[in-house]
Amino acid sequence: MRLRAADDYLPRGKRLRPLICSLFCRLFALPSDAAVVVITATEIMHAASLAHDDIEDHDAVRWGRPTLQSAFGLEQAINVGDSFIGVVYQLRLTLGSRGVDPAVVTKVIEVFNSTHLRMCEGQHLDLRSRYSDDLTVAEYLDMVSRKGEAIR
């Protein structure tokens, strides 16, 4: 089996989350093994958000492949997305055992939680706007900025 080069399946824009996470980890002076946990947790949270977004949008295909619900059913797709979120929080709780100060662990979890909630708000605005034809440009930009919220 031939492995594909990263450029074959990872558009350059998709590298932004790990880059932002790396900068976030530097800001908090996290050791490299802790940074890997933060970056991994972020990617898993993104995967959870895509699973839920595909359900809410009734998408059958993402990136040319079947979505979770089209391959395994709605119930399993919801369960996978929810399980991913649980894994994310469990990963973050391991930061203390990787030499990260408990106050920093708390701050990292606080930032992730705030980001998660803003992402959910963005999804709510997206779902609500489907039934409204008076969405302003400012409202649209607010919605997409929340849905694509990066750790800040």
Residue 2 in any domain: the answer is no
Residues 6+ apart with CB under 8 A from 45: 84, 85, 88, 112, 116
- Give the model's confidence band at 103: pLDDT under 50 very low, under 70 low, under 90 confident, else very high: very high
The answer to whether residue 6 is domain-embedded is: no
Residue 32 lies in a domain: yes
Percent of the chain exceeding pLDDT 70 equals 88
Provide the percentage of residues in the chain whose pLDDT is more than 90.
Answer: 51
Residue 7: inside a domain: no
Q: Which has more confidence, 100 or 127?
A: 100
Closest CA to 144 of 119, 113, 116: 119
Confirm whether 91 is domain-assigned: yes
User: Is residue 1 in a domain?
Assistant: no
Q: Which of 4-13, 19-28, 50-59 has maximum average pLDDT? A: 50-59
Is pLDDT above 50 for 65? yes
In a domain? residue 56: yes
Say how many residues make up the chain. 152
More confident residue, 86 or 16: 86
How many domains does the chain fold into?
1
C-alpha distance from residue 93 to each of 53, 84, 107 (Å) = 26, 14, 11
pLDDT: which is higher, 21 or 144: 21
Q: What is the pTM of this model?
A: 0.78
